[in-house]
Amino acid sequence: MRTFRFKLYRSRRTRNLDRQVGIAASVWNRCVAVHRRYYALTGRYLHVNRLKTQITKMKRRKKFSHWNDLGSQAIQEIAERVDRGYKAFFRKDARRPPKFRSHRKFSSFTLKQAGWGFDGDRIRIGDSTYKYHKSRDVEGVPKTITVKRNTLNEWFIFVVCDDSGTEYETYPRTGKSAGFDFGLKTFLTVSDGRRIRSPEFLKSSLKKLRKASRNLSTKSKGSNNHRKAVADLARVHADIANRRDDWQWRLANELVREFDVLCFETLSIESMKRRWGRKVSDLAFPEFLQKVEWLCRKRGKTFVKVGRWEATSKTCSSCKCKYDALSLNERAWTCGGCGAVHDRDINAAKNIHESGHRLAEEGASVTALPCSP
């Protein structure tokens, strides 16, 4: 599956989308209320099919007749979304169950097989047609579209396509492979000794963020000035995210062009966030890994994940002797077995490269993700 994002042109017709998102928020809140009432009465979980039946009956009442302005499949998808939230909560994958959401903060709805259609640079959603920025052609068979509004009141459509039958242009084989070690001071350390530093876009924009936040804190909630200050703050965050995203895509393309096998180590990002917080979020390493993995699948390269429990930093890449007494402050150490002096990050990258290359050759490990040549 592949997702394409397009931006809708601003027009008066987008008011229709505002209304439909408001209806989607009402449906969401009603689904949550039905779930809570059912659990309070029976102490059991409400199956999604029974929830859909209940919501369909509600649409026939005069009080909820305006729900018919939103596509029936969008309403069913909201019920499924609430159901997934409750299942994740009961599995203890989520800390809390789905909660009530305000119309202002609810931002999207999804249409599946019906209720939409493309016509050149226009898209039909319900009974209205909207013009969008057609930056590229949609590749594959469109399956669903999601209409989403951001905090700047800009509208986007996300088209999910089945690209299983689509042939992409593969990058030429170079015969090179490498391991990459992620770090806080150096974004990536390559096994050949190179170091790639992140521009740290959040850190460089802290003054703008603090100024926008202070400006927002002085405004009265609900006023026009408060809404403008919220938009100003959201604009700064969007600029940071866009610049980081662009830099990561450029770097990912550069690495995938250069290497045939790319080996990375899995990390516990949530644990790192609890310790180093903003720094880890600014680097956005999980998002970068997703980009590299997707490009490898598309361009015919091999992406390998090495388990986090392998002692890549403490193991000598020359003689495989393990050095246990190694703290985070020690950036270089000497092997007691062979006497080799190692830079901590480069040594880890070499070990990641060796372990990942072995997994790629075995081909049977679930952490190896080979792509078609």
Counted domains in the chain: 2
Both 107 and 191 in a single domain?
Answer: no
User: Tokens 């994002």 sit at which residue?
Assistant: 5
What's the pLDDT score for residue 14? 82
Report CA 207 to chain centroid distance, whole Å: 26
What's the pLDDT score for residue 119? 83
Q: List C-alpha distances in Å: 186 to 17, 200, 207.
A: 44, 11, 23
What's the pLDDT score for residue 253? 92
Pairing status of strand 341-343 against strand 332-334: antiparallel
Q: How far apart are CA 262 and CA 281, in angstroms?
A: 23
Both 19 and 112 in a single domain?
Answer: yes
What's the pLDDT score for residue 371? 39
* Domain-located, residue 252: yes
* Domain-located, residue 306: yes
| Mean pLDDT across the chain | 83
Digit-coded pLDDT (tens) for 120-172: 888 888 888 888 888 888 888 888 899 999 888 889 999 888 877 777 778 88
Last residue of a domain, one of 162, 191, 223: 162
User: Tokens 């060796």 sit at which residue?
Assistant: 354
What's the pLDDT score for residue 364? 38
What's the pLDDT score for residue 325? 64
The answer to whether the CB of 70 falls within 8 A of the CB of 109 is yes
CA angle at 178 for the pair 172 and 181, rounded to the nearest 5°: 135
Which residues in the chain come in under a pLDDT of 70? 309, 311, 313-314, 317-318, 320, 323-337, 339-342, 361-373
CATH label of the domain that carries residue 352: 3.30.420
Both 147 and 283 in a single domain?
Answer: no
What's the pLDDT score for residue 368? 37
Both 26 and 88 in a single domain?
Answer: yes
Q: How far apart are CA 283 and CA 187, in angstroms?
A: 7
By residue range, what is the domain housing residue 351?
177-369
Both 125 and 207 in a single domain?
Answer: no
